[in-house]
Amino acid sequence: MWKQLREKGKRWLKGERGIRLVVLAGVVGMALILLSSLYPEKQEKRQTKSVQTDAGQTDHVQAYCDDLEQQLTDTLKQIEGVGNCQVMLTAGSTAETVYVQDEEQDTADNRIQSQKKTVLISDSGGESALVQRVLQPQISGVIVVCDGAASSVVQERVSRAVQAVLDLPAYRVCIVPFQKQEDESVFP
C-alpha cells in the first residue's frame, strides 16, 4: 500500500504539474505567514490585582515613610529617659493599588469560563480605574538614635514601642545612642 502511494506521489510531482503544485504550496505557506502577522498575539492571563508602579508611587512611599518617622519620633520623645531622638525607616516594598474588578462567569458544556475586567469611571479628565484600596508599603527595618540609648532599660522600652507600633520583630529594630561630641577645650 505504501509503495502504491509513493508511486502516485512521484507521478504527480513529475513534470509541469509537479512544479505548479510545489509553487502553489509555497505561495499558500507565505500567505499564511503574512496573515498570522496581521492578527495580534494572544495576551497572557491577567492578574486579579492590578498594581500601579511609577515615579509618583515612589514619591508617595517616601512621603509615607517621612510622616511615619515624624510620628514615631514625636511618640518616642515622650518615653521617660529617651531625650532627643531620630528615627529612620526602611520600606520593603512600594505601595500597591488594588482596583475594583468586575467578574463575569459563563457556564457551558460542563466548563466554567470567567473573565475579569477592571471597572472604569468617567470624569472630566477622561476614564480612570476605580480604586478599591491602597495597601501601604511594609516597613522592613527601623533604626532609632537617641540620647538615652546607653541605658538598657530605655533601649528595651523603645524597642517594645517600635515593635508594637510597626508590628516588627525585635531583630528588625536597632536602637543606638548619639555619637558623643568631644570637648575641643581638652586639646590645646
Is 107 within a domain?
no
Rounded distance between C-alpha atoms, residue 188 and residue 185, angstroms: 7
Q: Over 80: is that where the pLDDT of 12 sits?
A: no
* pLDDT average, residue stretch 126-139: 79
Quick one: which of 97, 94, 98, 96 has its CA closest to 61?
94
Please name the residue that has the C-alpha cell 515593635.
Answer: 163
pLDDT of residue 44: 41
pLDDT of residue 171: 92
pLDDT of residue 56: 56
The CATH number of the domain holding residue 65 is 3.30.300.30
3-state SS, 134-185, equals EECCCEEEEEEEEHHHHCHHHHHHHHHHHHHHHCCCHHHEEEEECCCCCCHH
Is 122 within a domain?
no
Q: Over 90: is that where the pLDDT of 178 sits?
A: no
Bridge-partner residues for 104, per DSSP? 115
What is the reported pTM?
0.53
Same domain, 27 and 86: no
Asked which of 14-18, 29-33, 54-58, 147-151 is least confident by mean pLDDT, the reply is 54-58
Task: Report residue 187's pLDDT band, with 50, 70 and 90 as the boundaries.
Answer: very low
